[in-house]
Amino acid sequence: MTTPEYEKVFQVFRHDGDHLGNMKPGALLRCAQQIATEHAENAGLTDAVYTETHTAFVLAKMALHLARPVRVDELLTVVTQPERTKRAVNKRITRVRDEKGEEVALLDSRWVLIDTEKRAILRTRPAQFDESWAQDVPCELPMKMTKAKWEDCTPLGQRTAAYSLCDMNGHLNNTRYADIVCDALPMEVWDAGTVQDMLIFYHREVPRGQTFELARAQTGDNQWYVAARRDGQSAFEASVSFRPL
């Protein structure tokens, strides 16, 4: 029987810190991705099962809230809680607590299971996916994004899904989108504040070696919008809100 939640302790390594000594958002997402993977494997959802059933979990949306900046060298207790499928979507809530037990970050991610051959969302799942997650996880973060029109954004040129950004599935890893979003913002933004909220909508995967166009717009005093297109179609959209220093 699958446990309704899974817990793991992570140390914030110095190579995951920025110029202020704060943990980068992408590094935090990688901790969340690792614990989710381990939890699923403990439930029997191994690489062999995905290969046999021609399936894969794909991230559709992600919201991250930071109660405060997470610092390098901290020990974090990360607890992940997935919810059973509702309208073909699995919600997974991941909480991050410091050594005092105080919640410093909360991640709300929404996943769909796809048929990797048909590239279609599965509403009826193979028997191996026994849906033994919790019936309800009564927690969520806002998923409404403040957007700008593509033509009103500042173009930032092309980026490539390079070797260091891609994963075992052969496309841009979902945590690396956060790195790309952060790199797209003006450097002075990082000298004036720290990330409070980040929201990413994953519209269309970017295979290894493929290029995409990137653009940004400021949508508030401490808020930015970043968007990407591949072959004329939306690849992803993101919003980042900052807490002034």
| Cβ contact 230:212 at 8 Å | yes
pTM: predicted TM-score of the whole model, two decimal places: 0.95
pLDDT of residue 132: 78
Domain boundary among 89, 124, 142: 142
Distance CA 43, CA 126 (A): 14
pLDDT beyond 60 at 2: no
Does 9 share its domain with 65?
Answer: yes
Torsion sign (Cα): 113, 117, 119, 123:
negative
Rounded CA separation 239/84 (Å): 27
CATH number of the structural domain spanning residue 163: 3.10.129.10
| Domain shared by 11 and 116, yes or no | yes
Structural domain containing residue 29: 1-142
pLDDT tens sequence across 167-181:
998 999 999 999 999
User: Considering just the CA atoms, what is the radius of gyration of the chain in Å?
Assistant: 18
Among 106, 123, 142, the domain-final residue is: 142
Structure tokens at 129: 């996916």
Please tell me whether residues 129 and 176 are part of one structural domain: no
Contact 116/47 with Cβ under 8 angstroms? no
Residues 187, 74, single domain; the answer is no
Among 142, 160, 190, the domain boundary falls at: 142
| Same domain (yes/no): 112, 6 | yes
Q: Are residues 164 and 128 in the same domain?
A: no
